Amino acid sequence: MLAAAFLHRPEVFSDVYAPVLDRIRARAEIVYGPAAHADPARLGPVEVLCTSWGAPVLDAALLDAMPRLKLVLYAAGSVRKLVTPEFWAREVPLVSAYRANAVPVADFTYAQIVYALKGGWRYALGARAAGAPMTRVPQPGLYGSRVGLLSLGAIGRLVVDRLRALAVDVVAHDPFAGPYDGVRMVELAELFATSDVVSVHTPLLDETRGLVGRELLGSMRQGATLINTARGAILDEAALVEVLAGRPDLFAALDVTDPEPPVPGSPLFTLPNVVLTPHIAGSLGAERGLLGELVAGELERFADGLLLEHALTREAAERLA
């Protein structure tokens, strides 16, 4: 039987790992944790590291404390803050549950797209500010409108699948993605200039930091909505504030910002055409059980000598949002 340790934020265990604990115990003896911090002196027997949000950095010191490590299970999404060159040099398989975390993000995004095409937030915020009902104005509606997706990774493709029922025109921009049924790939400028809703799903890389700037934002069609559930720094926030202030016809639904949360007094709190949510698109509460199910399944496959289905290569890890 394998020896396992749990290292992550304390509150994660009950949502993520507790529902699948019997499955894990059938394949591994828990020799450490759950704990928020590593005690190197007690990690020597560990062969499987089960972790999630609040994971320790897999640097040389931690890896040296686990010389028998054979598998890392990360029950969350991006591993960028977790991995190091020293980790990749050890060639230990790393599983991320990003595909499971993509499910609630796609659900949230779909809901925001529907609400945007109906003008929902604008009416809700306008009525609150005026203390009176808002007069209905023409909206694109659901059918035949164009939705543009910036990146077509795991989340973007799930959003496409959900949009099929609406008969919307879906376009996407992603230099790394191959063809996907029902999606037309377009240049970035066309995506912003022609879409009724633009939804951002691109990872934050050096080349995507500040990618969405004043020119793209200013080119958005009359009455369009920008949705961001990826990373705040993909948008040039100063340019976003300037464009939104000058174009009250546009709207932004932001689940992420840069910094996060916005600084006190940020115009994002007071602009009438912005709604902010505190990074809630990803897995919350019982949704996190999907992450535990994915990594438990991978542990079972590993223990049974089968190929892993969700192991990351270094290249793939660097492109995760």
pLDDT digits (tens, 9 = 90+) for 123-132: 999 999 999 9
Q: What residues are annotated to the active site?
A: 231, 260, 279
The model's pTM is 0.93
Whose CA is closest to 244, among 218, 221, 269, 263? 218
What pLDDT band is residue 259 in, cutting at 50, 70 and 90? very high
For domain 2-96+285-319, the question of CATH label 3.40.50.720 is answered with yes
User: What percentage of the chain reaches a pLDDT higher than 90?
Assistant: 92
pLDDT digits (tens, 9 = 90+) for 164-196: 999 899 999 999 898 899 899 999 999 999 999
Cα distances from 189 to residues 85, 157, 298, in angstroms, run: 36, 21, 41
Domain ranges of the chain: 2-96+285-319, 101-276
pLDDT at 184: 97
What pLDDT band is residue 318 in, cutting at 50, 70 and 90? confident
What pLDDT band is residue 238 in, cutting at 50, 70 and 90? very high
Whose CA is closest to 105, among 124, 77, 79, 81? 77
Least-confidence region, from 77-86, 98-107, 138-147, 259-268: 138-147
Q: Write down the mean pLDDT value for the chain.
A: 96
Q: Give the pair of three-digit tokens for residue 243.
A: 């464009």
* HEC assignment per residue over 168-223: CEEEEECCCCCCCCCEEECCHHHHHHHCCEEEECCCCCCCCCCCECHHHHHCCCCC
pLDDT digits (tens, 9 = 90+) for 35-88: 999 999 999 999 999 999 999 999 999 999 999 999 999 999 999 999 999 999
The fold adopted by the segment(s) 101-276 is: Rossmann fold (3.40.50)
Calpha distance 112→202 (Å, rounded):
17
**Domains 2-96+285-319 and 101-276 are alike in CATH topology:** yes
Least-confidence region, from 94-98, 203-207, 222-226, 241-245: 203-207
Calpha distance 95→74 (Å, rounded):
6
**Contact by Cβ (8 Å): 307, 301:** yes
Q: Is the confidence at residue 7, as pLDDT, over 90?
A: yes
Calpha distance 15→101 (Å, rounded):
13
Calpha distance 243→36 (Å, rounded):
43
Whose CA is closest to 101, among 12, 4, 181? 12
Write down the number of H helices and E strands in the chain.
Answer: 12, 12
Residues ≥6 apart with Cβ < 8 Å to 259: 232
Whose CA is closest to 258, among 273, 276, 281? 276
Q: Is the confidence at residue 141, as pLDDT, over 90?
A: no
Cα distances from 233 to residues 4, 57, 201, 246, 259, in angstroms, run: 36, 23, 12, 21, 8
Whose CA is closest to 8, among 34, 46, 40, 45? 34
Distance of CA 307 to the CA centre of its chain: 26
Calpha distance 171→186 (Å, rounded):
7
Distance of CA 86 to the CA centre of its chain: 26
